[in-house]
């Protein structure tokens, strides 16, 4: 399926292509993006509760800028929720396959624990070395989006199988269970209760969860709750209803979270082109389920 993400006026920012079928791996979702050369000013990234890969192969680079003026180009890896810093994405006629990974499987695929990313954005060369360049060539030579998705799916499966053989890349069952509980509750699970249910201290759960998932449990819960709420706002639901249903203390609490994650008020945030990407590329919108 191919669609476009609306920009200003009649322009479109990205052409979006979805795979015809889901990934062979639980916890993986993909979409293809082709930039139309109209995002020179950059688009604010809206955080999402997944580890993100951007496998770039176009004629121009994918560029990510942060609030401190740091810049990354080409194929990238972003930790859970893209970190706390504001990020802007722009392109110069780039093409890329974007992959959302459950943090439960990301260590085995990346070859490093999500906690080491510190939720930041780094180049894929820093993580995969020479293989990053090889993947770029494979994607560039592939004759269609279907072929590119097949290449990426096989790559991720191979890396996961190789990485999962190492005990160092595994996630504690208690951490995996806590992550799934936070997902199912849409961010409303209480951290102290999760710790009690797995028989750990709150401190131990915080430490292990942060290392293996890439964010503290409370931060992960806040991110997942925000993700659910912002998409309900985009769908046109009233903020007061969204706040009540999503577990915020009141509408002002929801307002503060939206500002914290997007840098804008809810009324402005719902019009962000980045959120339109979810409706086209990942229409079901929940984070990928862990295996």
Q: Render pLDDT for 136-166 as a digit per residue (tens, 0 to 9).
A: 999 999 999 999 999 999 999 999 998 877 7
Q: Would you call 187 helix, strand, or coil by DSSP?
A: coil
Contact 114, 122 (CB under 8 A): no
7 has pLDDT over 70: no
Give the range among 18-22, 79-83, 229-233 with minimum mean pLDDT. Answer: 79-83
CA distance 131 to 261: 33
Residue 233: what are its φ and ψ, rounded to 5°?
A: -65, -40
Which pLDDT score, from 0 to 100, does residue 11 have? Answer: 42
Domains in the chain, CATH or no CATH each: 2-167 (2.60.120.10), 173-269 (1.10.10.60)
Q: What are residue 266's phi and psi, to 5 degrees?
A: -55, -40
Mean pLDDT of 112-137: 88
Per-chain mean pLDDT for the chain: 87
DSSP class of residue 175 equals H
pLDDT, average across residues 263-275: 89
Distance of CA 226 to the CA centre of its chain: 13
Locate 1 and state its tokens: 């399926």
Instruction: State yes or no: pLDDT of 12 exceeds 80.
Output: no
- Read off the DSSP letter of residue 60: S
pTM value is 0.90
Hey, how many other C-beta atoms are within 10 angstroms of the C-beta on 291?
13
Rounded Cα gap, residues 154 and 287, in angstroms: 21
* Helix locations, the chain, DSSP H: 103-110, 114-117, 124-128, 130-141, 145-164, 173-184, 191-198, 202-213, 217-234, 239-245, 251-262, 266-269, 273-281
pLDDT at 198 exceeding the cut of 60: yes
């Amino acid at each position: 399926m191919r669609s476009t993400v609306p920009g200003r006026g009649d322009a479109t920012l990205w052409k979006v292509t979805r795979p015809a079928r889901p990934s062979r791996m639980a916890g993986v979702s993909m979409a293809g993006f082709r930039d139309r050369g109209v995002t020179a000013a950059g688009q604010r990234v809206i955080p999402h509760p997944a580890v993100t890969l951007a496998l770039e192969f176009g004629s121009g680079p994918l560029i990510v800028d942060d609030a401190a003026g740091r810049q990354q180009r080409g194929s990238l890896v972003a930790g859970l929720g893209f970190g706390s810093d504001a990020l802007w994405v722009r392109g110069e006629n780039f093409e890329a396959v974007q992959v959302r990974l459950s943090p439960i499987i990301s260590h085995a695929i990346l070859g490093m624990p999500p906690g080491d990313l510190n939720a930041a954005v780094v180049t894929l060369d820093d993580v995969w070395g020479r293989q990053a360049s090889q993947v770029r060539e494979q994607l560039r030579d592939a004759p269609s989006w279907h072929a590119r998705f097949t290449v990426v799916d096989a790559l991720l499966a191979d890396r996961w199988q190789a990485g999962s053989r190492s005990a160092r890349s595994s996630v504690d069952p208690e951490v995996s269970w806590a992550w799934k509980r936070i997902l199912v509750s849409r961010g409303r699970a209480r951290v102290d209760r999760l710790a009690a249910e797995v028989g750990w201290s709150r401190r131990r759960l915080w430490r292990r969860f942060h290392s293996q998932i890439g964010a503290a449990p409370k931060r992960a819960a806040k991110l997942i709750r925000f993700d659910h709420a912002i998409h309900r706002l985009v769908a046109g639901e009233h903020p007061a209803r969204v706040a009540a249903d999503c577990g915020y203390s009141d509408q002002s609490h929801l307002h503060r979270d939206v500002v914290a994650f997007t840098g804008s008020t809810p009324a402005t945030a719902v019009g962000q082109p980045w959120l339109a990407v979810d409706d086209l590329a990942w229409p079901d919108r929940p984070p990928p389920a862990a295996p």
